[in-house]
Amino acid sequence: MVDGSKFKGVNNKRRNYTKTTIKRRIEIAEKHVESYLTRLDELDKKIDSTDSIPLVKKLVRIKKHLKGSKDIESKIMSGETSQVSLTDPDSRAMKSNSIGRTIRYNVQTAVDAKHHLIIGHYVTNAVVDRAELSKIAKEAQTVLDRKDLIVLADRGYYSANEIKRVQDAGMTPIVPKTQTSGSRNKNMFTKDDFIYSKEKDVYICPNNRDIPYSFSSDETVRGLYPR
Protein backbone atom coordinates (compact mmCIF):
# COMPACT_ATOMS: atom_id res chain seq x y z
CA MET A 1 0.00 0.00 0.00
CA VAL A 2 1.39 3.43 -0.89
CA ASP A 3 0.41 6.91 0.23
CA GLY A 4 1.77 10.43 0.49
CA SER A 5 2.02 12.62 3.61
CA LYS A 6 2.65 16.36 3.76
CA PHE A 7 5.42 17.55 6.11
CA LYS A 8 5.82 21.24 6.90
CA GLY A 9 8.83 23.02 5.45
CA VAL A 10 10.82 25.86 7.04
CA ASN A 11 9.27 28.60 4.89
CA ASN A 12 6.57 31.17 5.60
CA LYS A 13 3.69 31.44 3.12
CA ARG A 14 4.60 35.09 2.55
CA ARG A 15 8.00 33.97 1.24
CA ASN A 16 6.63 31.51 -1.29
CA TYR A 17 5.68 32.70 -4.77
CA THR A 18 3.72 31.24 -7.65
CA LYS A 19 2.91 32.79 -11.02
CA THR A 20 -0.20 34.41 -9.54
CA THR A 21 1.27 35.67 -6.25
CA ILE A 22 4.43 37.15 -7.79
CA LYS A 23 2.36 38.96 -10.41
CA ARG A 24 0.25 40.52 -7.66
CA ARG A 25 3.37 41.47 -5.70
CA ILE A 26 4.87 43.22 -8.75
CA GLU A 27 1.64 45.12 -9.42
CA ILE A 28 1.57 46.40 -5.81
CA ALA A 29 5.26 47.42 -5.93
CA GLU A 30 4.79 49.27 -9.24
CA LYS A 31 1.87 51.22 -7.78
CA HIS A 32 4.02 52.20 -4.81
CA VAL A 33 6.81 53.38 -7.14
CA GLU A 34 4.34 55.43 -9.15
CA SER A 35 2.89 56.95 -5.96
CA TYR A 36 6.33 57.87 -4.58
CA LEU A 37 7.41 59.47 -7.88
CA THR A 38 4.25 61.56 -7.96
CA ARG A 39 4.82 62.78 -4.40
CA LEU A 40 8.48 63.57 -5.16
CA ASP A 41 7.42 65.66 -8.18
CA GLU A 42 5.08 67.63 -5.90
CA LEU A 43 7.81 68.17 -3.29
CA ASP A 44 10.32 69.32 -5.93
CA LYS A 45 8.07 72.29 -6.63
CA LYS A 46 8.47 73.51 -3.06
CA ILE A 47 11.34 75.73 -1.92
CA ASP A 48 12.26 73.42 0.98
CA SER A 49 12.52 69.92 -0.46
CA THR A 50 14.15 68.22 2.55
CA ASP A 51 10.90 66.31 3.06
CA SER A 52 11.78 64.33 -0.07
CA ILE A 53 14.74 62.55 1.56
CA PRO A 54 12.66 59.86 3.39
CA LEU A 55 10.65 59.29 0.21
CA VAL A 56 13.82 58.84 -1.84
CA LYS A 57 15.04 56.19 0.61
CA LYS A 58 11.70 54.40 0.43
CA LEU A 59 11.79 54.60 -3.37
CA VAL A 60 15.25 53.02 -3.47
CA ARG A 61 14.07 50.16 -1.23
CA ILE A 62 10.90 49.50 -3.21
CA LYS A 63 12.79 49.53 -6.52
CA LYS A 64 15.24 46.97 -5.14
CA HIS A 65 12.26 44.94 -3.93
CA LEU A 66 10.64 45.24 -7.38
CA LYS A 67 13.79 44.06 -9.16
CA GLY A 68 13.96 40.98 -6.92
CA SER A 69 10.30 40.23 -7.63
CA LYS A 70 10.81 40.50 -11.38
CA ASP A 71 13.79 38.12 -11.14
CA ILE A 72 11.53 35.61 -9.39
CA GLU A 73 8.83 36.11 -12.05
CA SER A 74 11.36 35.48 -14.84
CA LYS A 75 12.42 32.25 -13.17
CA ILE A 76 8.82 31.05 -12.93
CA MET A 77 7.78 32.20 -16.42
CA SER A 78 10.82 30.48 -18.00
CA GLY A 79 9.46 27.13 -16.78
CA GLU A 80 12.49 26.50 -14.60
CA THR A 81 10.16 26.07 -11.64
CA SER A 82 6.47 26.58 -10.85
CA GLN A 83 7.15 28.03 -7.39
CA VAL A 84 9.93 29.87 -5.58
CA SER A 85 10.44 29.55 -1.83
CA LEU A 86 13.00 32.03 -0.47
CA THR A 87 13.82 30.48 2.93
CA ASP A 88 13.52 26.76 2.17
CA PRO A 89 14.10 26.59 -1.62
CA ASP A 90 12.99 22.97 -2.10
CA SER A 91 9.67 23.36 -0.26
CA ARG A 92 6.42 24.00 -2.13
CA ALA A 93 2.94 25.32 -1.39
CA MET A 94 0.59 22.34 -1.03
CA LYS A 95 -3.09 22.14 -0.19
CA SER A 96 -4.70 20.01 2.48
CA ASN A 97 -8.38 19.57 3.27
CA SER A 98 -7.64 19.86 6.99
CA ILE A 99 -5.21 22.80 7.27
CA GLY A 100 -5.40 24.54 3.90
CA ARG A 101 -2.43 25.87 1.95
CA THR A 102 0.96 25.64 3.68
CA ILE A 103 4.57 25.23 2.57
CA ARG A 104 5.54 21.58 2.78
CA TYR A 105 7.25 18.49 1.42
CA ASN A 106 5.51 15.39 0.09
CA VAL A 107 6.78 12.18 1.74
CA GLN A 108 5.95 9.05 -0.26
CA THR A 109 5.67 5.85 1.77
CA ALA A 110 5.18 2.17 0.91
CA VAL A 111 3.74 -0.05 3.64
CA ASP A 112 3.42 -3.82 3.87
CA ALA A 113 -0.35 -4.03 4.45
CA LYS A 114 -0.09 -7.47 6.07
CA HIS A 115 2.61 -6.70 8.64
CA HIS A 116 2.04 -2.90 8.87
CA LEU A 117 5.72 -2.15 8.29
CA ILE A 118 7.17 0.73 6.29
CA ILE A 119 9.27 -0.82 3.54
CA GLY A 120 10.20 2.22 1.50
CA HIS A 121 9.99 6.00 1.45
CA TYR A 122 11.42 9.13 -0.13
CA VAL A 123 10.83 12.88 0.00
CA THR A 124 9.67 14.93 -2.98
CA ASN A 125 8.33 18.43 -3.55
CA ALA A 126 5.74 17.23 -6.07
CA VAL A 127 2.53 19.04 -5.12
CA VAL A 128 0.33 16.02 -5.99
CA ASP A 129 0.89 12.24 -5.99
CA ARG A 130 -0.18 11.57 -9.57
CA ALA A 131 3.32 11.01 -10.98
CA GLU A 132 4.75 9.11 -7.98
CA LEU A 133 3.10 5.67 -8.20
CA SER A 134 5.74 3.80 -10.21
CA LYS A 135 8.67 5.30 -8.32
CA ILE A 136 7.45 4.36 -4.84
CA ALA A 137 6.27 0.96 -6.09
CA LYS A 138 9.72 0.20 -7.53
CA GLU A 139 11.23 1.31 -4.23
CA ALA A 140 9.17 -1.41 -2.53
CA GLN A 141 10.25 -3.93 -5.16
CA THR A 142 13.90 -3.22 -4.45
CA VAL A 143 13.54 -3.48 -0.68
CA LEU A 144 11.52 -6.72 -0.79
CA ASP A 145 13.55 -8.13 -3.70
CA ARG A 146 10.46 -9.39 -5.49
CA LYS A 147 8.51 -8.25 -8.54
CA ASP A 148 5.01 -9.68 -8.20
CA LEU A 149 3.65 -7.06 -5.82
CA ILE A 150 0.09 -5.80 -5.54
CA VAL A 151 0.24 -2.00 -5.31
CA LEU A 152 -2.77 -0.42 -3.61
CA ALA A 153 -3.20 3.37 -3.75
CA ASP A 154 -5.96 5.97 -3.51
CA ARG A 155 -7.41 7.86 -6.48
CA GLY A 156 -4.87 10.65 -6.06
CA TYR A 157 -2.35 8.35 -7.77
CA TYR A 158 -4.54 7.60 -10.78
CA SER A 159 -2.54 8.11 -13.98
CA ALA A 160 -2.68 5.88 -17.06
CA ASN A 161 1.03 6.32 -17.72
CA GLU A 162 2.00 5.53 -14.13
CA ILE A 163 -0.27 2.48 -14.01
CA LYS A 164 1.34 1.15 -17.19
CA ARG A 165 4.83 1.67 -15.74
CA VAL A 166 3.85 -0.33 -12.65
CA GLN A 167 2.44 -3.12 -14.82
CA ASP A 168 5.51 -3.14 -17.05
CA ALA A 169 7.62 -3.62 -13.91
CA GLY A 170 5.70 -6.83 -13.13
CA MET A 171 3.37 -5.49 -10.45
CA THR A 172 -0.41 -5.31 -10.19
CA PRO A 173 -1.70 -1.79 -9.47
CA ILE A 174 -5.10 -1.28 -7.82
CA VAL A 175 -6.01 2.40 -8.08
CA PRO A 176 -9.56 3.80 -8.26
CA LYS A 177 -10.22 6.02 -11.23
CA THR A 178 -10.41 9.75 -10.63
CA GLN A 179 -13.95 11.14 -10.54
CA THR A 180 -14.04 14.00 -13.04
CA SER A 181 -17.78 14.24 -13.59
CA GLY A 182 -19.79 16.79 -11.64
CA SER A 183 -23.04 14.88 -12.19
CA ARG A 184 -23.09 13.23 -8.78
CA ASN A 185 -22.96 16.63 -7.10
CA LYS A 186 -26.04 17.52 -9.13
CA ASN A 187 -27.81 14.37 -7.86
CA MET A 188 -27.42 12.61 -11.23
CA PHE A 189 -25.94 9.26 -12.25
CA THR A 190 -22.41 9.00 -13.65
CA LYS A 191 -20.94 6.45 -16.08
CA ASP A 192 -19.80 4.31 -13.14
CA ASP A 193 -23.44 3.67 -12.24
CA PHE A 194 -24.04 1.86 -15.56
CA ILE A 195 -22.89 -1.78 -15.81
CA TYR A 196 -22.04 -3.33 -19.18
CA SER A 197 -23.55 -6.74 -19.94
CA LYS A 198 -21.38 -8.60 -22.44
CA GLU A 199 -24.06 -11.26 -23.05
CA LYS A 200 -26.73 -8.72 -24.01
CA ASP A 201 -24.29 -6.12 -25.40
CA VAL A 202 -26.09 -3.44 -23.44
CA TYR A 203 -25.54 -1.25 -20.42
CA ILE A 204 -27.76 -1.82 -17.40
CA CYS A 205 -28.77 1.35 -15.62
CA PRO A 206 -29.31 1.59 -11.83
CA ASN A 207 -33.06 1.17 -12.44
CA ASN A 208 -32.26 -2.21 -14.04
CA ARG A 209 -33.23 -1.03 -17.53
CA ASP A 210 -31.24 -2.06 -20.59
CA ILE A 211 -29.56 0.68 -22.61
CA PRO A 212 -28.19 -0.16 -26.11
CA TYR A 213 -24.41 -0.15 -26.41
CA SER A 214 -24.63 2.60 -29.06
CA PHE A 215 -26.39 4.79 -26.52
CA SER A 216 -23.38 6.96 -25.67
CA SER A 217 -24.60 10.52 -25.15
CA ASP A 218 -23.91 11.46 -21.53
CA GLU A 219 -26.33 14.39 -21.69
CA THR A 220 -29.13 12.12 -22.94
CA VAL A 221 -28.39 9.54 -20.25
CA ARG A 222 -28.61 12.19 -17.57
CA GLY A 223 -31.81 13.56 -19.10
CA LEU A 224 -33.57 10.18 -19.25
CA TYR A 225 -32.21 8.73 -16.05
CA PRO A 226 -31.92 11.33 -13.30
CA ARG A 227 -31.11 10.06 -9.85
Domain count, the chain: 3
Contact in structure between 18 and 76 (CB atoms under 8 Å): yes
For residue 207, pLDDT over 60 is answered with yes
What domain range is 74 assigned to?
Answer: 19-81
Strands of the chain (E only): list them: 2-8, 16-17, 84-85, 92-94, 102-112, 117-124, 150-152, 172-174, 195-197, 202-204, 210-212
Residue 69 shares a structural domain with residue 119: no
In a domain, 9, yes or no: no
Confidence of residue 50 (pLDDT cuts 50, 70, 90): low
Apex 80 CA angle, 127 and 131, nearest 5: 35
For residue 214, pLDDT over 70 is answered with no
Residue 23 shares a structural domain with residue 68: yes
For residue 181, pLDDT over 90 is answered with no
Confidence of residue 211 (pLDDT cuts 50, 70, 90): low
Dihedral Cα 139, 141, 143, 146, nearest 10 deg: -170
- Give dist(CA 208, CA 73) in Å, integer: 56
In a domain, 2, yes or no: no
Q: Residue 221: what pLDDT?
A: 46
- Give dist(CA 37, CA 52) in Å, integer: 10
Confidence of residue 194 (pLDDT cuts 50, 70, 90): confident
Nearest to 18 by CA among 97, 98, 101: 101
Residue 207 shares a structural domain with residue 163: no
Residue 149 shares a structural domain with residue 111: yes
In a domain, 206, yes or no: yes
Entry pTM: 0.69
Q: Residue 226: what pLDDT?
A: 46
Confidence of residue 209 (pLDDT cuts 50, 70, 90): low
Contact in structure between 154 and 133 (CB atoms under 8 Å): no
State phi, psi for 6 to the nearest 5 degrees.
-95, 125
For residue 166, pLDDT over 80 is answered with yes
Residue 190 shares a structural domain with residue 170: no
Q: How far is CA 94 from the centre of its chain?
A: 7
In a domain, 107, yes or no: yes
Mean pLDDT of the chain: 86
Q: Residue 225: what pLDDT?
A: 45
| Total residues found in the chain within this entry | 227
Residue 26 shares a structural domain with residue 61: yes
